[in-house]
Amino acid sequence: MAESKPIFERVAVIGLGLIGGSIGHAAKRAGLAGHIAGYARSGETRARALEVGFIDSAHESAADAVKDADLVILCVPVGALGPVTAEIESSLKKGAILTDAGSVKTAVIRDMGPHVPDGVHFIPGHPIAGTEESGPDAGFAELFDNRWCILTPVPGTDKAATEKLTRFWEGCGANVDVMDSKHHDLVFAIVSHLPHLIAFNIVGTATDLEKVTQSEVIKYAASGFRDFTRLAASDPTMWRDVFLNNKEAVLEMLGRFSEDLASLQRAIRWGDGDMLFDLFTRTRAIRRSIVDAGQDTDVPNFGRDPTHKAPSGKK
């Protein structure tokens, strides 16, 4: 993946958490950027990012960070993308590429679009990768390896700019797909937003019962519940913004989910074992397809250390 010469002379990363940090690490690994300028709201985060070394310079404002940058990547929660774009609007270099890493795309085009100056190539993006961690220490160079990154350029976008951004993401290890923003939002409503919503919800339900205590739920979590807690530990601000900005698609998929759940509830109530068995057989095959597509590990239990103990040796 090493390039003989950087794809971009100067890259600005706005937002220095899991995604911004991983982009910095991955760009450095492959030599994709001559210089990486960084900005985060918190001075502590900026200092830490410099120390970890995934940016070359830290700036006191987003506007200062994007000056002279050939590629500007906004890695802030979806709700902050409009305001941040307004802040940097007058500092963007002519000919620069402006992109983001937000999990919804139609609302992002609505919010960022009006602030993009003529001569700047705005190409919304969404890398399909992450962990439940956040902050400047959460990122790592391999996060995007063999994962997908989706670009949703608006009609009329410069082809060469899209190709250049594609090469950058490929240099970060990702495979790039181009998609219409509305279709993107529908696809990710079901593969990402609804799963997170369900996870947040069940963790909420389980820890708010009278007949079963929270300590019982925690103690016996290995029986299934713990699988949901990873998604439910994701960044609260990021996810609030996702749901507020992909409302229609999420509500549509939630409607389908609830409809199917009601029918499953009915099958349990009436003891329809065949219906349950048929569904469970079908869903088992799907995991096999995901593993075959290289989108999950084939090691049982996600490869969790089977003997994992409490961090401090507690039981």
3-state DSSP call for residue 306? coil
Pick the binder of a second copy from 16, 113, 128, 166 (CB under 8 A): 128
Piece of the chain touching a second copy by CB under 8 A; list 47-55, 66-74, 91-99, 246-254: 246-254
Within 8 A by CB and 6+ apart from 174, the residues are 127, 129, 144, 145, 146, 147, 148, 149
User: Does residue 93 belong to the site contacting a second copy (CB under 8 A)?
Assistant: no
Would you count residue 188 as binding a second copy (CB under 8 A)? yes
228's tokens: 């949901």
- The DSSP call for residue 36 is E
* Residue 52 binds to a second copy (criterion: CB under 8 A): no
Told to check if 295 binds a second copy by CB under 8 A, we report yes
Q: Does 9 help bind a second copy (rule: CB under 8 A)?
A: no
Instruction: Verify binding: residue 4, a second copy, rule CB under 8 A.
Output: no
Smallest separation, CB 97 to a second copy (Å): 24
| Minimum distance of a second copy from residue 192's CB (angstroms) | 4
Which DSSP category does 103 fall into? S
Residue 186 as a binder of a second copy (CB under 8 A): the answer is yes
17 phi-psi bin (left φ>0, alpha ψ -120 to 50, beta other): beta
Distances (CA, A) of 242 to 18, 81, 94, 234, 236: 16, 12, 30, 12, 10
- Count of residues touching a second copy (by CB under 8 A): 120
Q: Are 26 and 143 in contact (CB under 8 A)?
A: yes
**Of the candidates 52, 89, 140, 170, which one interacts with a second copy according to CB under 8 A?**
140
Nearer residue to a second copy within complex by CB, 63 or 221: 221
The nearer residue to a second copy, 116 or 233, going by C-beta atoms, is 233
**SS3 label, residue 121:** strand
Give the nearest distance from C-beta 278 to a second copy in angstroms. Answer: 8
Q: Does residue 114 touch a second copy according to CB under 8 A?
A: no
Q: Does 2 bind a second copy (CB under 8 A)?
A: no
DSSP H helices in the chain: 18-30, 43-52, 62-66, 78-88, 106-112, 159-171, 181-188, 194-206, 214-219, 226-231, 236-245, 247-269, 273-292
- DSSP SS3 for 241: helix
Q: Stretches 37-45, 47-55, 56-64, 275-283: which one binds a second copy (CB under 8 A)? A: 275-283
Indicate the residue among 178 and 191 with the shorter CB distance to a second copy: 191
φ, ψ for residue 109, nearest 5 deg: -65, -40
1 binds a second copy (CB under 8 A): no
Decide: is 27 part of the binding site for a second copy (CB under 8 A). Answer: no
Give, as ranges, the residues between 205 and 244 that touch a second copy (CB under 8 A): 205-209, 211-212, 214, 216-234, 236-237, 239-241, 243-244
Residue 180 near a second copy by CB under 8 A = no
Residue recorded with tokens 């990402």 = 192
- Of the CA atoms within 13 Å of residue 224, those in its CB half-sphere come to 2
169 binds a second copy (CB under 8 A): no
